[in-house]
Amino acid sequence: MKPTMKLCLLPLFLFCFLSSSSSHPHPFDPLTPSELSTIRSIITSSHLNVSSSLSFHYVGLDDPDKSTILSWSSSSPLPPRRAFAILRADRQTHELIIDITKASIISHHIYPGPAYPSFNNEEEAQAGLLPMKYKPFLESVRKRGAKIEDVVCTSYARGWFGEEKQNRRRAAVLCFVAGETANLYARPIEGVTITVDLDDMEIVEYRDRVVLSVPAAEGTEYMAARQRSPFGPRGNRVVVVQPEGKGFNIHGHMIRWANWDFHLAFDLRAGAVISLASINDTSTTMAGRKSVLYRGFVSELFIPYMDPCEEWYFKTYMDAGEYGFGLLASPLEPTVDCPPNAEFMDGYYAAQNGETLHISNVFCIFERYAGDPSWRHTETLLPGEIITESREEVSLVVRMVSTVGNYDYMIDWEFKTTGTIKVSAGLTGILALKASTHTHTNQIKSDEHGELVGRNTIAVYHDHFITFHLDLDVAGPANSFVKAHLKTVRSNSAHPTPRKSYWTVVRETAKTEADARILLGSTVSELLIVNNGVRTALGNAAGYRLVGSNAAATSLLSDDDYPQIRAAYTKKQLWVTPYNRAEKWAAGLYADQSRGDDNLAQWSMRNRSIENTDIVLWYTVGFHHIPSQEDFPLMPMLTGGFELRPFNFFERNPLINTEPFNKVLSAQSSTQTSKMAQV
């Protein structure tokens, strides 16, 4: 068999894309409003509804087995539609598998702890109201010269700090002063610690340790309507137009653009989920679809702050597992968050009482062109002519924004015709700010754990670690992880030239999980995911290369620090594990008050084989954030990310035979002129 003939052995699922124009639903489609309503009816009709404390914390698709998805085609009936639900009732956590079609509960398990499910919006809001009628808090507000009607409170996760037994589902409540400015986070009520039991919905701990004045509202406003001249700099308006219309098609949740097909779905915890991304390979006579990414999504966000004082030490958040990255997704504003050529998708989820709620414009999809070339070359050596050839860099972007308290996270999945998938994580919003007595840096005599960014305002040092789950199926599921080390070699006498050294590539295939834990920068390496069973005509294994960015920070916390135990995987940027349907969330299924006994680092300690098998990459985009005055009162976008780039995946550059736009437009113009002449 010729090497390129092996393409015909790819899984059957690749061919389902050929009929993506059909409205036939897909097994990975998120739960519809009708299905969510059915799930609520099934649960509220069960014995669980006897409890007055029944509350919904997660309802999502119970993923079909991977083998089922890979063998499914659009002409086949859907596999059974099942949902996975996490509920709280009578101070217990309930896990349910629900058969939606048969309207029945097929599995019910009580999770004993010690961790807890994510918060829901309704209980966070309810907890935020508790201090408003709590006399000690009213006195604390009075002592700071604030008005209680201007105070806004909300709840935050408290984490775990070595407690042997913890049978309370606790949360911290933090309060701020609004009124004179929309920027309430710039005016914290400092020195107060409030702890709430979320099951009993009552304040169980209260302490006012130190009274600090609330920072002034002056200079904190960011709303355009409240700004006054002189205004800041800006260029002239840039308009995005597509005179020939959009170049992509959306059918249900399947998206087809250029040489790409993929599925896009909404999940309450992950937000955007990209599935079954495949590319049409026209670089060979054996053209056809080749799989790239089975599933990709944000698995966890770990944000530890660096102030160890009583009111701050617990601020070490896991934004996906404790709050829900999808739950806190913001409706995207057309022409503001996304360009005018964008299309939008909505999201649906179950509220605390199980009723279906709607997030409009949760995703936007658009083509991006900034005038850049994807490749170019000018040739001047040919006698009597100068040749310049280039191709435009047009890409397709899927975007979502999640507002987790003070921070806004923008996640872009960008698909390029070169076969590259570029993933970007952008941070903006408002810093976590601490009231202070300082008005000038020369007053700071010791470590303040942050930077003075405004009068009486310290922006606390912190990290952002955004971990992605990347189930790559490069030309099929059987993949290996290869480290291509760059090694310096001394020249020898066999080559009698003045050169004394050169570098070469030494490839090492990771056999087990331990071989694939990577601290980027420790060695110079190319990181590859290859399929040894699919090769080019030249014999190279089809592969993809992981290319990191400058946002590659790792955690600096000590290994025995409790937040680090919970997020042990942030000590390295890259982990590789064998595919396991249950291993989706880097911090574990239950992140609130977790103890680090169910997370990526723990799973990987089994040191399973990862060679020539179905593997998952876990990549962390990391930032150490030292705030500056330019980050105040609202922070400009800070972006990092990574790329998945083809590596011997194609026989050649797949864009060589792509016609440039100017040639296409010229041909269209000539055709139109000819028709007008005939008329």
Active site residues: 319, 407
Phi-psi region of 201 (alpha: psi -120 to 50; beta: other; left: phi over 0): left
Which of these, 472, 470, 474, 478, lies nearest to 612 by C-alpha position?
A: 478
In the block, tokens 């920068």 appear at 521
DSSP 329: B
The span from the CA of 267 to the CA of 58, in Å, is 9
Which of these, 568, 596, 334, 339, lies nearest to 467 by C-alpha position?
A: 568
The span from the CA of 73 to the CA of 485, in Å, is 40
Which of these, 642, 631, 501, lies nearest to 222 by C-alpha position?
A: 631
DSSP 214: P
| CB distance 363 to 332 below 8 Å | yes
Which of these, 169, 139, 163, 159, lies nearest to 151 by C-alpha position?
A: 139
156 bridge partner residues: 172
- Greatest Cα-to-Cα distance within the chain, rounded to the nearest angstrom: 89
Q: Are strands 457-460 and 82-89 parallel, antiparallel or unpaired?
A: unpaired
DSSP letters, 622-678, are EEEE---GGGSSSEEEEEEEEEEEEESSSSS-TTTTPPPHHHHHHHHHHHHHHHHHH
The span from the CA of 114 to the CA of 250, in Å, is 43
109 bridge partner residues: 95
| CB distance 213 to 144 below 8 Å | yes
280 is written with which tokens?
Answer: 């049409």
